[in-house]
Amino acid sequence: MKNTLVCKIDKDNIDMEKIKEFANILKNGGTVIFPTETVYGLGANALDEEASKKIYEAKGRPSDNPLIVHIADKEDVYKLALDVDERAKIVMDKFWPGPLTVVLKKKSIVPSTISGGLDTVAIRMPSHPIALSLIKESGVAVAAPSANISGRPSPTDEENVLEEMNKRVDGIILGGNCNIGLESTVLDLTGDIPMILRPGGVTLEDLEKTLGKVEIDPAILEKNENIIAKAPGMKYTHYSPKASLCIVFGKKENVIDKINFLVDEGTKKGQKIGVMCIDENVSKYKGEVIGLGENLGEVAFNLFKVLREMDKRNVDIIYSESFDKIGIGQAIMNRLSKAAGYKFIQA
């Protein structure tokens, strides 16, 4: 158990004295949780092997799963990566600071502990003002995966971050809700054609407009034992609530009928059944119904929080509606399918 320094910081009126305290923890090899625009991150000095090992310990994360290195100045990419080509410069100019991570060949200064033994490194410049001031003030590049116990949904709000991580790290900055709610897009630029290894806040459509042809790692589109995901993290069970989750897809009316039928069946067996749906359908379902939002942006923002809320309500089974894989929908369906362990029911 660690003695964790916990402090609220207002992102619109940043208290630099407090930021300095947390930056010192990072400088001295400690771990600090801080808000970003995607999800809360659990950071440590990326170039200090001992410090980054503490991240894996705090999360219980497998050590072959590499970490994203966060920087506060675009120019820092050149300190960490080799072969920063024209495509990298274009996407960095267009999407940084923001929810895009680029994978590039790494320089030897990046320890293999944080790159999971790969010869590449994943780098992102976040746009959240607290993240940027903390990284800048610490003067180090900050490795920061999502601040959850490995396998659990990523925390996107203060309450969940505290519940899960208090006493596991040296510092926690509480800075309100993360406004995107899903992790960054991971874009591999080491091959001839840019490839999305993890869909996220920057969409395929956005990237294609900027770069032309962009591929999606086939392993993230479906569960197929024969395809190995290029982003090591994508192979693990992830984002899982305690209840068993299942996605029901098909025509809208059929989905509603099917889910209500399944709720009835479960209830008869004495089970507590949760339902996750778009807000306009909330009144159409039986069971413990939670609306995910009015549109895909809101669904992304609420998804992890609702999965955690279902845990708090102690449901046994959750049925979720399915969403179109358009724009941020691609990332939503990726996280939802993984959280469900790829359990689908056709209505």
Q: Give the residue nearest to ligand AMP (CB).
A: 233
Total site size for Mg ion, rule CB under 5 A: 1
Using the rule CB under 5 A, give the single segment among 43-51, 84-92, 118-126, 144-152 that binds Mg ion.
144-152
Q: Give the neighbor-by-neighbor strand order of the sheet with 273-277.
A: 288-291, 273-277, 317-321, 244-249, 344-346
Main-chain dihedrals φ then ψ at residue 208, nearest 5 degrees: -65, -35
Minimum gap (Å) between residue 82 Cβ and ligand AMP: 13
Minimum gap (Å) between residue 48 Cβ and ligand AMP: 17
Phi-psi region of 35 (alpha: psi -120 to 50; beta: other; left: phi over 0): beta
Tell whether residue 63 is among the known ligand binding residues. no
Residue whose CB is less far from ligand AMP, 67 or 296: 67
Residue whose CB is less far from ligand AMP, 150 or 260: 150
DSSP state of 186: E
Tell whether residue 285 is among the known ligand binding residues. no
Residue whose CB is less far from ligand AMP, 199 or 266: 199
As a whole number of angstroms, the distance between CA 327 and CA 163 comes to 32
As a whole number of angstroms, the distance between CA 146 and CA 153 comes to 9
Residue whose CB is less far from Mg ion, 38 or 259: 38
As a whole number of angstroms, the distance between CA 28 and CA 18 comes to 16
Main-chain dihedrals φ then ψ at residue 172, nearest 5 degrees: -135, 125
234 binds, among ligand AMP, Mg ion, none (CB under 5 to 8 A by kind): ligand AMP
For the chain, how long is the longest CA-to-CA vector? 61
- Candidates 36, 101, 133, 146; binder of Mg ion (CB under 5 A) is 146
As a whole number of angstroms, the distance between CA 124 and CA 118 comes to 17
Tell whether residue 146 is among the known ligand binding residues. yes
134 binds, among ligand AMP, Mg ion, none (CB under 5 to 8 A by kind): none
Cβ(199)–Cβ(180) below 8 Å: no
Q: Of all helices (H) and strands (E), which one includes residue 248?
A: strand 244-249
Tell whether residue 168 is among the known ligand binding residues. no
User: What residues contact residue 86 under an 8 Å CB cut-off, 6+ apart?
Assistant: none
Q: Cβ atoms within 10 A of the Cβ of 1, count?
A: 6
Tell whether residue 240 is among the known ligand binding residues. no
Residues that bind ligand AMP (CB under 6 A): 65-68, 103, 115, 118, 120-122, 145-146, 183, 186, 197-198, 230-234
Residue whose CB is less far from Mg ion, 120 or 146: 146
186 binds, among ligand AMP, Mg ion, none (CB under 5 to 8 A by kind): ligand AMP
Residue whose CB is less far from ligand AMP, 4 or 65: 65
Tell whether residue 150 is among the known ligand binding residues. no
Tell whether residue 87 is among the known ligand binding residues. no
As a whole number of angstroms, the distance between CA 169 and CA 55 comes to 8
Residues belonging to the binding site for ATP are 61, 65, 120, 144, 146, 154, 198, 239
Residue numbers in the known binding site are 38, 61, 65, 70, 120, 124, 144, 146, 154, 184, 198, 239
